Amino acid sequence: MRVSKVLKLICVAGARPNFIKIAPLMAELRRRPGIAPWLVHTGQHYDQRMSGLFFRQLGIPEPEVNLGVGSGSHATQTADIMTGFEQVMLEQKPDAVVVVGDVNSTIACGLVAVKLGAKLLHVEAGLRSFDRTMPEEINRIVTDSISDLLFCSEESGRRNLLREGHRAESIFLVGNVMIDSLQRHRQQAESSEILNALGLSSGGYALVTLHRPSNVDDPPTLRGILSALNRISQEMPVVFPMHPRTQARLQTPALGALVSGLQTTEPFGYLEFLKLMGSARVVLTDSGGIQEETTILRIPCLTLRDNTERPVTCEMGTNRLVGTAPDRIMAAYREAINGQSKHSQTPPLWDGRAAERIATIIQGRLVAET
């Protein structure tokens, strides 16, 4: 075993959800004696709205390395990340690597880390949609299979990992680092002027996000979702910050015409979007993280998918799986605005202290070994 005075730890972030999760973890690790955390940004999300603004608003330190890989197919992007991250690993020789979530940066950096002999720590481990057509599901399964320490955000993750044969002593139920960020920035987000800027009133609009390939890359599915959103827009404003992927798909005249009745915008910063979520009458999304955030904000969430890797948001939270059929979306929308959605509870350990628990475990398990 390599001997060093401190634990050299590389933390990896690549996409917008990663930034929200890595912010509280980096802050906590920097406070811990015996740990020297480094931040590597892969550049998977690279533009101002999807990356730079999040770093500033979340108080994330400037990354020591930005690989700048940009977009591309799954194979191209994963390969580019692996090639760039391998050079970082060879130069820095860290003791361990922390990866978060389920994006291509997660699996790419995880594979490089373990092949070069570093310990791999996966934050948000064990989540399963049981739908292998989702690229994220493959990333989750493979990353967990090669990780040394597995940090779970909810009980379902722990159960999934045990069922898959992982050792109980490598699994830790720690809570949700995304909720750490929400709790830390909630008051600051309240002062945002985004509602005034968009001409909205609190509780008087629907908020929408769409980005999953199964929804936006299939024209009939996208057309059906947009038809439901247009029906909703006849009753209240529908605010639709568009992910770059979704913007690209709506360039065709046939599909582009279907958003004419919606209030489409560019993506927002973290604080602005948090304010929009917390003030919405209802949120419609295919995002995993938004299912979690609306649970804490106690805002009805209609998930435009047939499955979720975050079942606690349906069991305890305000989330409801409604699929993509327009009539099902509209029926769920009616129930939500009429107050028929169940009241949200806070899932266990979603208390804003997940990063603290993770850092304590890292100190206890890894610092003593260096």
Catalytic residue list: 211
Report the distance separating Cα 114 and Cα 258, nearest Å. 47
Q: Which amino acid is at 114?
A: V
250-280: string of b/e by CB count within 10 Å (b at 16+)? beeeebeebbebbbbeebbbbbbbbbbbbbb
**Which of the 8 DSSP states describes residue 107?**
H
In contact, 91 and 116? CB cutoff 8 Å? no
Residues 6+ apart with CB under 8 A from 106: 12, 14, 18, 99, 100, 122, 139, 143
* Amino acid letter for position 263: Q
User: d(Cα 304, Cα 145) in Å, to the nearest integer?
Assistant: 29
The rounded distance, in Å, linking the Cα atoms of 204 and 103 is: 33
Q: Taking CA 59 as the corner, what is the angle to CA 51 and CA 282, rounded to the nearest 5 degrees?
A: 65
- Report the alpha-carbon distance of residue 137 to residue 9 in Å, rounded: 26
Asked whether the beta carbons of 14 and 105 are under 8 A apart, the reply is yes
Spatial distance between the Cα atoms of 364 and 49, rounded to a whole number of angstroms? 37
301-303 vs 282-285, strand pairing mode: parallel
